[in-house]
Structure 1
Amino acid sequence: MTAAIQRPNEQQRNTIADFVRDRAAALDRGETDIRTDLVRIGELGLLENGLGGECLDDMAAVIDDIAAESLTVGFSLWAQRMALEYVDRAPQPLRSRYRDDLASGRLVGVTAMAAALKHLAGLGELPLLAERTTDGFTVSGPIHWASNVFPDSLIVFPARTAEGGRIVAVVRADTPGVHINESPELLALGATSSTSLKFDAVRIPAADVLTDELADFCSSIRPTFLLLQTSFCVGIARAALAEAATRLHGLGEQFTGEHELLSTQYESLRERLYRYAADPTTATAADLIRLRLDGSLVAVAATRLEATLRGGAGYASASATNRRFREAAFLPIQSPSEGQLRWELSQYE
């Protein structure tokens, strides 16, 4: 039986924030990767809060705090937490094999579910094809982008069957037939081990199928998916606005109005995030899409303003300002991308 989950206290949150802050520059330089951070987060018992999506405010706060120190870690923590979320909803035999190792951070989780959410929005077919066998499936095709992809990671992915079915399954990254492409050089977030993959007749036993009801499953996890993504947008925006606020003097005074406007937008974003996270059932699909879109827009604008106010010092690649500016550049293209979010939101208007 799983032990009762304890709400993160201030000391735990401060401990992990300090830990991430101390490693942020080395992560950005590519001298280490996020596995060390995930293990420490797991050791503190911070990954399990809000499992099942009933109340996500504690988990949102942890990701918020961590992303304020490093969006790289905040983003990888989100991916880890989503992989845990999926497995926690799996049939008991699958759940018992992987859940505790994911919750501890010892097993790194890859969420490759973006294609499923895009597919269910009517924006494309699932790229992975699953062919039935006597004891499960063989799966072939590409995963165009995923993060936390290490040789011993656990990948959660969607696939379509030739008969028109749609499944969600898990596979270890070192399984025969799983080909991990070399990670490209990124503007930032290189330590997240983000890359593409190809499956070549990968054997998936029936016991590793999480569900064959893709639409219902994605409907159940999407609030968590979007709320926790918004959490890392809020974290990096908060850090950028705080730094920008220290430079609203001299020539920086010309940006006071812009800072005030962004701060107002940020406060609205933060208030909605924690209100919805406390009870996700109070948010409509449109509310969550708008929240995630606003999170990306505010974070990008806040880091741009911070970089403008820092001037030449912020242009130096080793500065925290520069790192936040580069990290936030990923948010408009992260799935669901700004284009997808705008398109989905237009369907409700």
Structure 2
Amino acid sequence: MNAPASFESLAAWLDTHADALDADQSRASDVLPQLIRGHAAGVGVPEALGGAGGTIADAIDTVAAVAQRSLTAAFVLWGHRTFIEYVLQSDNETLRADTLPRLLDGRIAGATGLSNAMKYLSNIEPLQMHATRRADGFALSGGLPWITNLRREGFIAAAAFDHDDGSPPSIFAIPHDAPGVERSDDLDLIGLRASNTAALTVTGTVLDERHRITADARSWLLRVRPAFLGLQCGMSVGLARRALLATAQAGASSREPIHEESAALEAALAEQHVRLKQGVLDGTFFERPAALFELRIALVDIVTRALSLEVQATGGRGFLRNQSGVARRVREASFIPIVTPSLVQLKAQLAQQRAASVA
């Protein structure tokens, strides 16, 4: 599926404002409306549900196309589109009917909030949110230090909660205006500053079954993880692609000495992009999550090497303000390895799996 025609105007806007989105928190309110106008959020959502049609692979391509121009906007799109995926994969039809139209038209921003849950799934850390059953629903408490797309104009965030009665952990969709929900000021990031990234605290917030995405967090997370990480990998694909394009457009004297290395990286990126989409579509990454972990690690390596080539090809011009986007992309590339699950966490998980298979 090709990107919608309206994506061209979104691409032009991103090209114009990418540096400002990276550096200026005050531009945060602009990002989601532009993504909605460009029909980026509805890609991979069935037309019968109000989306643009296509598959999750098409959504990955859309994240990559946005990341090629602005990682800040791609990070917002990843959060928003991933929350949409949660709603699509939930059995809660009431939640889907209530939230999906508002997510697709941008009235509310979707925030994944499941980094803690993904670490919990990999036995990296316990859940940080807790639920107490009450007659009128569940009283929720806890805090998450880092969530993207907590748009001040309105958001709904997913978070995983353990239960005091010993039942399996649940995942709830937390509306911004529910009593006890508090968003912090934006985190003081060195880049991606217009991404509406903040901490979220819930204190005695009461939600009922209408807000529960799943009552069995572990099984549901295993099912949704390929989309969560697949969409995230789209950010790496787009950023690496842009760096390699900039390298190819450099002057011949700078480009030729590194041509072979650049061509090899382009081929590797194309091959991994195909594997990424295929593995999400055919169930490989559900059956063999280690394959997805390894692919994410490999993509980060390509991003790092691609940015190194762009720096070499751009030369001193890249060190001048407002002369190229290379400085911004270097900052963006430094963020890619630490997005949850980080490379350190993925490598630790793979090492544990290898050790278990040998034992």
Q: TM-score, normalised by structure 1?
A: 0.90
Number of the residue aligned with 1:119: 120
In structure 1, what is the Cα distance between the partners aligned to 2:7 and 2:278?
Answer: 20
Q: 1:76 deviation in Å?
A: 0.8
Q: 1:244 deviation in Å?
A: 1.4
Q: Is the 8 A contact 2:170 2:214 kept in 1?
A: yes
* Aligned-residue identity in percent: 27
Assess, with a 3 A threshold, how the Cα gap between structure 1 residues 141 and 244 changes in structure 2: closer, same or farther: same
Can you list the C-alpha shifts for 1:49-71, whole angstroms capped at 9, x where unaligned? 32499932211221111110111
Note if 1:79 corresponds to 2:79.
yes
Assess, with a 3 A threshold, how the Cα gap between structure 1 residues 348 and 180 changes in structure 2: closer, same or farther: same
Assess, with a 3 A threshold, how the Cα gap between structure 1 residues 247 and 9 changes in structure 2: closer, same or farther: closer
Can you list the C-alpha shifts for 1:98-135, whole angstroms capped at 9, x where unaligned? 11111122211111011111101111100011111111
Number of the residue aligned with 1:286: 290
Assess, with a 3 A threshold, how the Cα gap between structure 1 residues 247 and 46 changes in structure 2: closer, same or farther: closer
In structure 1, what is the Cα distance between the partners aligned to 2:19 and 2:121?
Answer: 38
Unaligned runs of 5+ in 2: 47-52, 355-359
Q: Is the 8 A contact 1:300 1:331 kept in 2?
A: no
- The one-letter code sitting in structure 1 at the alignment partner of 2:299 is G
Higher deviation after alignment, 33-42 or 182-191: 33-42
Assess, with a 3 A threshold, how the Cα gap between structure 1 residues 77 and 267 changes in structure 2: closer, same or farther: same
In structure 2, what is the Cα distance between the partners aligned to 1:116 and 1:150?
Answer: 21
In structure 1, what is the Cα distance between the partners aligned to 2:38 and 2:54?
Answer: 21
Number of the residue aligned with 1:4: none
Unaligned runs of 5+ in 1: 1-6
Q: Is the 8 A contact 2:3 2:62 kept in 1?
A: no
In structure 2, what is the Cα distance between the partners aligned to 1:43 and 1:108?
Answer: 14
Matched position secondary structure for 1:311: helix
Q: 1:12 deviation in Å?
A: 3.4
Assess, with a 3 A threshold, how the Cα gap between structure 1 residues 272 and 317 changes in structure 2: closer, same or farther: farther
**Counterparts in 2 of 1:90-169, with a 5 A limit?**
90=90, 91-151=92-152, 152-164=154-166, 165-169=168-172
- The one-letter code sitting in structure 2 at the alignment partner of 1:58 is D
In structure 2, what is the Cα distance between the partners aligned to 1:16 and 1:180?
Answer: 28
Q: Is the 8 A contact 1:35 1:105 kept in 2?
A: no
**Counterparts in 2 of 1:202-281, with a 5 A limit?**
202-247=205-250, 249-250=252-253, 253-277=256-280, 279-281=281-283
Q: Is the 8 A contact 2:248 2:255 kept in 1?
A: no
Number of the residue aligned with 1:176: 179
- The one-letter code sitting in structure 2 at the alignment partner of 1:28 is D
Q: 1:172 deviation in Å?
A: 1.7
Q: 1:253 deviation in Å?
A: 4.3
Note if 1:309 corresponds to 2:309.
no
Q: TM-score, normalised by structure 2?
A: 0.87
Note if 1:24 corresponds to 2:18.
yes
Number of the residue aligned with 1:69: 69
Matched position secondary structure for 2:235: helix
- The one-letter code sitting in structure 1 at the alignment partner of 2:145 is H
In structure 2, what is the Cα distance between the partners aligned to 1:285 and 1:203?
Answer: 34
Matched position secondary structure for 2:132: strand
Can you list the C-alpha shifts for 1:288-326, whole angstroms capped at 9, x where unaligned? 111222222211221232123323322245431111111
Number of the residue aligned with 2:50: none
Matched position secondary structure for 1:155: strand
In structure 1, what is the Cα distance between the partners aligned to 2:79 and 2:185?
Answer: 19
Q: 1:183 deviation in Å?
A: 2.0
In structure 2, what is the Cα distance between the partners aligned to 1:308 and 1:203?
Answer: 55
Higher deviation after alignment, 198-207 or 68-77: 198-207
In structure 1, what is the Cα distance between the partners aligned to 2:314 and 2:252?
Answer: 12
Give the CA RMSD over aligned residues: 2.3
**Counterparts in 2 of 1:7-46, with a 5 A limit?**
7-9=1-3, 11-30=5-24, 32-46=26-40
Q: 1:341 deviation in Å?
A: 1.3
Assess, with a 3 A threshold, how the Cα gap between structure 1 residues 172 and 331 changes in structure 2: closer, same or farther: same
